[in-house]
Structure 1
Amino acid sequence: MCTGKCALCVGGSLYPLALISIICNIILFFPGWDVKYAQNGQLTDEVKYVGGLVGGGALVLIPAFYIHLTGEKGCCSNRCGMFLSILFAAVGVAGALYSFVVALVGLINGPYCKVGLIWSTPFKEMNESYLKNQDIWGLCTEPKNVVEFNVGLFSTLLVVNGLQLILCAIQMINGLFGCLCGTCIEKDPL
């Protein structure tokens, strides 16, 4: 496969992943599908780090545009364009990695919720992971179903950011080949 076509494929694949990442992060601001928790600041700390919005969203979307444009400039654009695609893909790797780590920590620590009369992160200090024991999820009385809500969205972010990492790493390798080997534009026979 030509390096330009590969860049076109990678760039096109990053668009929906960045959109999913942004949507998941925005939804995380509304646990229990209610605005009052965001207004009162009763959110999981990892939601406030906006990993999906900034990291998996903007820092992947900008490289996706450039990588896609690099692929559209002919078969492989030029060596300079492919070199720049390596740098943009590195920015995408950094953004996806940031979002991945934030989502992983959010999944490990668990949600910020009301336990009895106190708001806390009840699963953070436990010796055993709350993910293995669904019986204790009922500790969180408010927002309703916040554990399932956070687990589902943070897990989705983990998968999406993992795919973004892989695609941006592929583009870094692809860009290196395009930069070193040059273009693969077919010459017209005379």
Structure 2
Amino acid sequence: MLSFPHVMACSRTCSRFLGLSLGTASLFAAGANIALLFPNWDMTYLTRGLIGKHAMLGSGLWGGGFMVLVAATLISMTGYFRKSTPCLCMLIALLSSGLALLGALVCFVTSGVALKEGPFCMFDVSSFNQTQAWKFGYPFKDLPNRNYLYDRSLWTSVCLEPSKAVVWHVAFFSTLVCISLLQLLLVAIHFINSILGLLCSFCEKS
């Protein structure tokens, strides 16, 4: 049977590992959001203001990125100081869990909505109205009776510019959804680990 000191040591190691994992995930989230600002690695769309609102919101940068990175740093710190100050570390654990939870949730919701509405691109609107031939917008947002995520034939036939706009949009927002789900899972594990660490520290002292 494991003793309380062994459990505490495992809990501290777990905190350091969770902090590192969350920090790495936050960097990937920031990278995915940055890629969304440069479709096909072309800077001209950003300078011309032709980037979709969900990418410009930057939830992968400040939500799943910066906020989670700060939380990951705090979580790693608790892995080094939990033995001497368990109550303070528990308070830090709660704050860091809340911060990471908020950042990951914002990133998840924003990315999910972005996937539902589709990419911001130039498309031919002559089939929708006769006033203008081409314009930038969200052609899949109000597309009747068809879901572009399941109808791959729409991926190359609707968006005229940027090229491969749908693939770029789906790839990186799907990446953000997966990363934010992983972050939420790690936050849940961290919270459970923190509770166990606090209880074990009290039992060890008693």
Task: Normalising by structure 2, report the TM-score.
Answer: 0.84
Q: Which residue of 1 aligns with 2:41?
A: 33
Where does 1:1-190 land on structure 2 (aligned, <5 Å)?
Answer: 1=7, 2-73=10-81, 78-116=86-124, 117-126=134-143, 127-137=145-155, 138-182=157-201
Quote the RMSD (CA, aligned, Å): 1.9
Cα distance change, pair 136–64 in 1 and its aligned pair in 2 (3 A): same
* Change in 2 beyond 3 A, CA 1:176/1:3: same
Cα distance in 2 for residues equivalent to 1:20 and 1:154? 12
SS in 2 for 1:111: coil
Matched letter for residue 150 of structure 1: H
Task: Report % sequence identity.
Answer: 35
Q: Is the 8 A contact 2:33 2:55 kept in 1?
A: yes
SS of aligned partner of 1:114: strand
Structure 2: segments with no counterpart, 5+ residues: 1-6, 125-133
Name stretches of at least 5 consecutive residues in structure 1 with no aligned partner. Answer: none
161 and 172 in structure 1: CA distance in 2 versus 1, 3 angstrom threshold = same
In 2, Cα distance between the equivalents of 1:110 and 1:156?
A: 15
2-side partners of 1:76 and 1:152: how far apart? 45
User: SS where residue 160 of structure 1 aligns?
Assistant: helix
Residues 27/184 of structure 1: CA separation in 2 closer, same or farther (3 Å cut): farther
> Counterparts of 1:52 and 1:76 in 2: how far apart (Å)?
35
Verify the 8 A CA contact 2:63 2:107 in the aligned structure 1: yes
- Name the TM-score, length of structure 1 as normaliser: 0.91
Q: Which moved more, 1:76-85 or 1:124-133?
A: 76-85
> 1:67, 1:85 within 8 Å by CA — same for their partners in 2?
yes
Q: Could you tell me how far 1:128 is from its partner in structure 2?
A: 2.7
- Matched position secondary structure for 1:123: coil
Distance 1:140 1:65, change over 3 A: same
Whole-Å Cα distance in 1 between the matches of residues 119 and 23 of structure 2? 29
8 Å contact from structure 1 (residues 52, 157) kept in 2: yes
Q: How has the CA–CA distance of structure 1 residues 82 and 72 changed in structure 2, closer, same or farther, with 3 Å as cutoff?
A: same
